[in-house]
Structure 1
Amino acid sequence: MNRKPKRNAALTRRDYVRYGGAVVGGGLLAGCTGGSGASTASTETDASAEETAQPTADDQSYTVSMEPVGTVTFESVPKRWIAYDGGYADMGVALGKGDGITGIGGADRYYTYVYDELPGVSVDRERIEANPEVRTKEQFYELDNDVHLYDPNMLVHWFDWGQSDVEEIADNVAPFLGNLIFRRSDGWHDYRYYTLYEAFEKVAEVFGEQERYEAFERLHDDFIAEIQRQLPPVDERPNVFLTYEGTTEPETFSPYRLNDKGTSKKQWRDLGVSDALAGTDIQNLSTTNRGELDYENLLEVGPDVILVRGHERKSASEFRETVLAYMQDHPVGGELTAVKNARVYRGGYLNQGPIHNLFLTERAAKQLYPDVFGAVTSDSELFDRQRVADIVNGAI
């Protein structure tokens, strides 16, 4: 992987963006070391590191601070960019920067079809599919972006990068800025987590789009408040089993815990449901826990609602005609209360950004409270698509 940059190494991206004072001990991810030379970031950050310095009239540079990288100084607003997952990619699109995305770390989990419902909002799916799994140094050199919306520790722990690899790309191409936020069950992530909107705000600072961010925040807060105003009393809400099983004929189920505060479960927390696994010792799915439950286990748990991830390219009707139908015909699965009541639904994206979250919260409200918000197969809309499109397109 020791490929030289496309240009003279002396003319690095340091001429464009550079790391600021939060990089300590001579290492980008200074803090503690892991196996194979890997490193995770320090959990300590100077109090001022979470502040963003705005450019002065004579100096157009500005800084953005985010764990685990620390403070990054930008000489001008990035134009070419890439995100590891669909959540950060969706943030960029929400901020009106969709034209600058050059690829993604995992295209299979970036669901762009929601943009079809937003007038004038789209991304170049061909460009994304041309670079659908950007995870190697060669790819970072080739794409030559101005910022990488990746948690670099994820590259270290998932794709066998070393700290020196991260530093090389940051020095010779562009900085990393991102934090793995979709779940909170990875032992190596021993530094600050961010909520969806805290991370979104950081990305807005990167692109100088704080006004768009604030408009999204207001829309989101009003939407959630109106949804929550209509929720039934707590004792009338269903308990939920959230799982992953990508086949149409499921036999075992990988468990998720709703008490994990990752962004992938935001809609369920906002809708006030309880975790069917509460009070059990069943652990959340993670890189170190790959345990699965079978139908007999689920009979003991007895969830009111089952939410199955891994079917996001199916419509609600297609899911019911395949996964639900199989479970209804299963000799044990058919005995589950949720199956008998046809309350088995798609479980939502693993990685969601602010636009995704609006659609997923609307869907979840219909799944959980159809008597209040309408059936999940209905066309009823709970938020204003045109308003979302207006913000993305700059009519704030």
Structure 2
Amino acid sequence: MIDPRVTTRRTLAGLTGLALAGTLAAAPASAAEPSSSLQRRLDALVTDGGSPAALAAVRGRDGRTRHYTAGVADLKTGAEVPVDGRVRIASNTKMFTAVVVLQLVGEGKIKLDGKVERYLPGMLRGKAGDGRKITVRRLLQHTAGLPDYDGVLLKDYFDIQHRHYEPYELVEAARTRKGTPVGRWSYSNTGYVLAGLIIQKVTGRPVGEEITRRVIKPLGLEKTYWPSLGEQRIRGPHPKGYWRTKPDEPYTDVSTMDPSMAWAAGQLVSTPSDLNRFMVGLLDGRLLRPAQLAQMKKTVAAPQFDTSGKARYGLGIATFKLSCGGVAWSHGGSAPGYATSNAATEDGRAATIATTALPADMKTVKNIETALDRALCE
């Protein structure tokens, strides 16, 4: 789901925070008929929700995918929204990072209940948290009590839009704030930056390379990539992303940006259909051994994660109840210019909705959540 704190506090808490190719026979990319329920909901996200564009992909149990678009890709030119265009998926990256950590757990290179200090000696100290007391599991579960760094670094987004950050700078920024009690669920991008640093420490390779080698390539996610160092433009067909701080302000194009402030917590670029393929592949057990997938699905209450207050969070993945019965697995992510919400079921259904501006209010967030529920239930 979309991290609701982004709209309620007007911060970038979701900057880095709210399906398998080859064997799945996806339908050719095409816009759905205008009369469809999801198409109407996407149209409303543009006309009523204020987003310049919205795009979605819905995968049925039979493996076929339907694509939807609404609005315009460029407010200046009025260009059409590219079907299954690329967007910055922000905190959805956390699922990829968690998968790599859990793969390394399965390989015996990381202990899920090992202390952070074991892998990153001396990095986590002080009022923000103590690496000698915090486990890897708690980083992935958001129960480490770590403060977020974005509230420290972000004063005016346009001041840092093109600034490059090293991961240690993000951790250092978080260390200036007091943490919350260990064990209490509290969303933290900082925890996933530390998880990325642990991946690099035990593999000796960049986290983006490990995500690409271990997740993106095996699943054939051809439109998903980790931006290279200094790469600020989005590759390939994509709608432009827009940002404003007040509803009555004109939108500013923020498609070009340095995503390093998100890093292992939110740097990836992908498309709605690729996110669906990832989710289906993950739930099918094609990325993780049964023991590690079971650990990923062990959830705790995460009342601030969605508007229902009833969401639960595992290790890099959340779950919520569907109106038609059963549950869906999800995450979501919000960054300047883009908000992406997704959900998938264990029987192969999946849906992803992206907008090219952050939701203007909680009503819009709720509308997106409802659209996802209906896409899976109908």
TM class by shorter-chain length? under 0.3
| Higher-helix-fraction structure | 1
Structure with bigger gyration radius: 1
State TM-score, norm by structure 2.
0.24
Q: Which has the higher contact order (CA 8 A, sep 6+)?
A: 2
- TM-score, length of structure 1 as denominator length: 0.23
